[in-house]
Chain A
Amino acid sequence: MTTAAAATGERTARTKPATMAQALGRALRDSMAQDPTVHVLGEDVGALGGVFRITDGLAKEFGEDRCTDTPLAEAGILGTAVGMAMYGLRPVVEMQFDAFAYPAFEQLISHVAKMRNRTAGAMPLPITVRVPYGGGIGGVEHHSDSSEAYYMATPGLHVVTPATVEDAYGLLRASIASDDPVVFMEPKRLYWSKADWSPEAPVAVEPIGRAVVRRTGRSATLITYGPSLPVCMEAAEAAVEEGWDLEVVDLRSLVPFDDETVATSVRRTGRAVVVHESSGFGGPGGEIAARITERCFHHLEAPVLRVAGFDIPYPPPMQEKHHLPGVDRVLDAVARLQWEAES
């Protein structure tokens, strides 16, 4: 998929603003057009186009057999997707909201994640499970969970989460093409974020599993993903005033985890803060901090800090601003990186 045009940025002349939601829809469309075994199924994905309109137009273009409104049953949706994959299809399942994927956990953990392993490689399951996740959209309870830690803790699953419009397209294409099951976490807060991007232009599809440095800097590394990337980028800009030159790493893929990009950055900067929305205790930040400590201990000038959501059930919408890690909380953590030790 990588083309010279994409690599050289030739296509910028043809770009126009597009949202992440549009990019995701386009990725589904292009995958279905290219590969007749790709099937989309879920609740309201047909005529409505999904509650976030990601699947808009797919049923019309490809027919209801390929973009199917299922009965309202998450275990059934994912369970039947397993059987479809066993017969050679590539199901892309939409879970309507993060917390409504929980009924499907049994299928995900006991079957989707394990089928390749159980059958000693004879029966891989190329299933993509799209999960809109995270808060900041004023959703009432059960509409804002960050459930990535549960998936990360399950061997056999890839866990991917884009933070940009381009990645939304490229990573979803790569996920659907993958012969392994992928939990594709969609930061719903960023659905309407825009970028200059043309779906018609050739786009590089990166393999799953590579982090990317979004901003280079020398003072410390912010490690983040999904909905917290814009927060970190803003924090890095604001930090310039304090004289801090922050590097920002966007993980893009939580499993597999790109130790190399993270360690290379932290060894250079000597300081790291992990930023995510999901609760800190037992959350992704703990794992990432431990990995950094194991690999970069002698380069570290300060303990690896975490800025995460509080260890509380996701709060009601009028209170969520206090829970979500914002720019100030990130900057506060940066300030606590024991700068005086440096001099």
Chain B
Amino acid sequence: MTVQELPGAAAYRPAPPPAWKPLTDPAPLLPDPEPYRVLGTDAVADADPELLLRLYAELVRGRRYNAQATALTKQGRLAVYPSSTGQEACEIAAALVLEERDWLFPSYRDTLAAVARGLDPVEALTLLRGDRHTGYDPRAHRIAPLCTPLATQLPHAVGLAHAARLKGDDVVALAMVGDGGTSEGDFHEALNFAAVWRAPVVFLVQNNGFAISVPLAKQTAAPSLAHKAVGYGMPGRLVDGNDAPAVHQVLGEAVARARRGEGPTLVEAVTYRMDAHTNADDATRYRVESEVEAWREHDPIRILERELTGRGLLGDEGIEEAREAADRMAAALRERMNADPVLNPMDLFAHVYEEQTAQLREQAARLRVELDAEQDQHGDEDVEERR
């Protein structure tokens, strides 16, 4: 069904001016009512075994990363960690569909996507550890800073993709947002700009059921979040967010479409947040264990593993191998995160403006005096070390 065929739509349209033409792109904009699946369907026959195995290894690593980071909050090494356990298929696919020149615009929950894209696991955690806002150079990795204000990174992705296209670069931006974030004004403005400018952007909504405690039903009355696309004049796609090859395929098609100059796509991945919102949240207040149990059956690692073992692509040995590789990554992360970061308080003034204002120079001098006094008083290496 194309947008022109929407029942009753013609009645709401103002009289077309002489130049008005219907959309020439016949691509159906509306999502299929059922999320697209690969695992357990005929489509799986076409899936590249090598890709499936790669996805599997990355999912296992990702799950371990989430567990390790959550453990680090308990040891006080991280201020907070919003786990993406259960959502690894979305995180990994988002990272793997992009070429090196493409850009990723993650939200605060998407540390895993940044790491899967190749970011140093420790650099990816500086925001959540609290020592620096962004521990990496976004330009060097083509990863925007993990974004805390909901949906505000989406217009950035549109602007960057638009700028790249103006420069003649075939760069695609992939922006990630949660189901709650789709209610924000910036979500709407970003999609509208992207469609009007035909910007090479892919929006990935991870619908994990909740915005902190608020279920999707209280967030939107739309049949699906992917349906929102049609109002902007871009295709909406609904995909099983736990089916890694399906997410990879749908995002891959959207990225290819953007790269061909055919404009943005909105992808809704239906998934589930297995852990609480963050380590500080109590999920028992707003959901029942039986719901979580039901989703455990549909765990992204479990369903992929079932497929791979069923086809004889993966045996106990391979499973063990993936687990050991993940453990090694976690051990290295743990060790590095257990070292205190070396901080320089004078950095507070270093990057407010290109050149420090006179006012900031004065304030920096005052802090310097306080630090010197502190050191005179304690005289211990502890203070010196923290500088």
Contact = CB atoms under 8 A, between A and B. Distances in A.
B264 to A, nearest CB: 13
A87 B359 CA distance: 31
Interface string A108-120: 0011001111111
B166 interface: yes
Contacts of B352: 116-117, 155-156
Interface in A84-143: 84-89, 91, 103, 106-107, 110-111, 114-124
Given A118-B145, A119-B134, A209-B357, A83 B166 contact: no
A145 interface: no
Contacts of A255: 357
B192 A71 contact: yes
Contact of B160 (A83, A120, A259, A260): A83
A238 interface: no
Contacts of B189: 71, 73, 75-76, 79
B156 A80 contact: yes
Given A110-B152, A121-B351, A180-B354, A79 B185 contact: no
A173 interface: no
Contacts of A180: 353-354
B159 A117 contact: no
A232 interface: no
A122 B139 contact: yes
Given A86-B144, A107-B152, A110-B149, A70 B354 contact: no
B293 interface: no
Contacts of B186: 75-76, 79, 106-107
Contact of B354 (A110, A119, A124): A124
A156 B140 CA distance: 23
Most buried by B among A83, A88, A158, A259: A83
Contacts of B149: 106, 110-111
A157 to B, nearest CB: 9
Given A79-B154, A86-B159, A107-B152, A118 B134 contact: yes
A121 B159 contact: no
Contacts of A260: 358
Interface residues of A, number: 48
B137 interface: yes
A76 B192 contact: yes
B132 A120 contact: yes
Contacts of A65: 166
Given A71-B193, A83-B159, A156 B137 contact: no
A181 to B, nearest CB: 9
A20 interface: no
Contact of B152 (A70, A106, A121, A256): A106
B164 interface: yes
B contacts with A: majority SS: helix
A83 B161 contact: yes
B160 A79 contact: no
A contacts with B: majority SS: mixed
B31 to A, nearest CB: 24
Contacts of A75: 155, 185-186, 189
Most buried by B among A39, A79, A85, A107: A79
B54 to A, nearest CB: 30
B292 interface: no
A257 interface: yes
B354 A87 contact: no
Contacts of A118: 133-134, 145
A236 interface: no
A82 interface: yes
Contacts of B163: 83-84, 86-89
B202 interface: no
Nearest to B191: A76
A117 B359 CA distance: 17
B167 interface: yes
A73 B192 contact: yes
Nearest to B347: A120
Contacts of B359: 256-257, 259
A117 B351 contact: yes
A24 interface: no
Contact of B133 (A71, A83, A91, A117): A117
Contacts of B350: 120-121
B346 interface: no
A107 B138 contact: no
Contacts of A103: 185
A106 B379 CA distance: 44
A88 B163 CA distance: 8
Contact of A76 (B160, B166, B173, B193): B193
B196 interface: yes
Interface string B100-144: 000000000000000000000000000000001110111110001
9 contacts: A70-B193, A80-B162, A82-B159, A83-B160, A86-B159, A103-B185, A116-B352, A123-B137, A260-B358
Given A65-B166, A76-B158, A88-B163, 19 more contacts: A80-B159, A80-B162, A83-B155, A83-B156, A83-B158, A83-B161, A84-B163, A85-B159, A86-B163, A89-B163, A106-B152, A110-B152, A116-B354, A119-B137, A120-B133, A123-B137, A123-B138, A156-B352, A260-B358
